[in-house]
Structure 1
Amino acid sequence: MNKTKIIIEELKKRNIPSEIKNTIFPIVEQYIDRIQFVKSFVGLKDILYFEELDVDFFDFPFFLSLNCQTLSSNGGNKHESIASVYENAITDVEEIVRKLKHFFEETNRILFFEVAFSENVLSNDDMWEVYHRMDEETDKEPFEIMTKMYRYPEWYDVEFGENVAILEESLSLLKQMDNLYITSSIKKLEEEINKALEEDNAPLFTTLVKQLKALKTQVH
């Protein structure tokens, strides 16, 4: 059983909203390779958030936010990323179901899940530590310090959303660089093919055309 499936099975034993357990999970379990659990949604594009019923962090116990601003799309501005999550939030379960089906059928993107557990609730002592750390970590907002202090069930061993966002951006940049190199190589091959045609060099022409076909299959 893969890690995502294990997390879902464990969550079914917890005090989570019935709409998530009975309506949302049956849909996403059909696309188990297209979902990823995280510890925060900062910087991620497509998010489904829900919390245990005794947590009460947000006005709504669950919401779906698609096409949010990522850190790369807004120059790394965390405030804009978080604001876009709230602006795009859908709380009606029927609308969430409709959007989810469209998301999985019409895109190939990953849907990120953040879960708020009762273990996340900080004590008064924890809040004093947050207050003192704000003096040391002046580049961070209080919520960033708080989320790093959250406790989680042992089986919820997942990455922070911000780390995932940075990794995704790095992979995207590598893909862009790879595409630039391939495009340049294709152009050079096409010039060599034209030259081989002008010189009536059939063996070289055949070899170059094979190389060109192989290169074109690598364009993302």
Structure 2
Amino acid sequence: MSGSGPVVGEDGLARCPWGAGSEVYRAYHDAEWGAPVHGEAAHLERLTLEAFQSGLSWLTILNKREAFREVFAGFDADVVAAYDDADFDRLMGDARIVRNRLKVRAAITNAQATVSLRERGGLEDYVRSFRPEQPAAPETTDQVPSVSPESVALSKGLKKQGFVFVGPTTMYALMQAIGLVDDHLVGCHRRGCASAA
């Protein structure tokens, strides 16, 4: 789909090409992707899911999202930060989520780092401080980057704060998901949803 512009669906709405496929993708594209989220748990959830997605299809993560929310206590940082070896074993035994040892450990580590980050303003404010000044306006998919100077800086900053599995590409995906950048294509009916941030 490189170089593709918006795709008009059967409902007459123009969407980013990836959001015009399955019902799951369409629902996520139309209701969430690129729209701002608020609160520590919402930010920790998106950061965690983006880390779990690394190397996998986003559809896989979306289909397992409710299970992720259940096993990670609604992404309550205090609860997840206190997970012990028994909790780790429980998570690794739960086929409803992605059972990758490094990613499960990362989720617990990042919850602990989130708790620590409260002393410096908290996860939400920290992530939002990396919003780029100049918004992009991609017209085709090949104009949408996979990294940016801001995502590189966010990645480095979070690593200094003790976070893991927060590489520049993963952080750019996070920035797209929570509306720090608006990568809905020009002409997509969701273009501009990030402006409510």
Compute the TM-score of the two structures, normalised by the length of structure 1: 0.28
Structure number with higher strand proportion: 1
Quick check: which has more Rg, 1 or 2?
Answer: 1
Q: Which has the higher contact order (CA 8 A, sep 6+)?
A: 2
Compute the TM-score of the two structures, normalised by the length of structure 2: 0.30
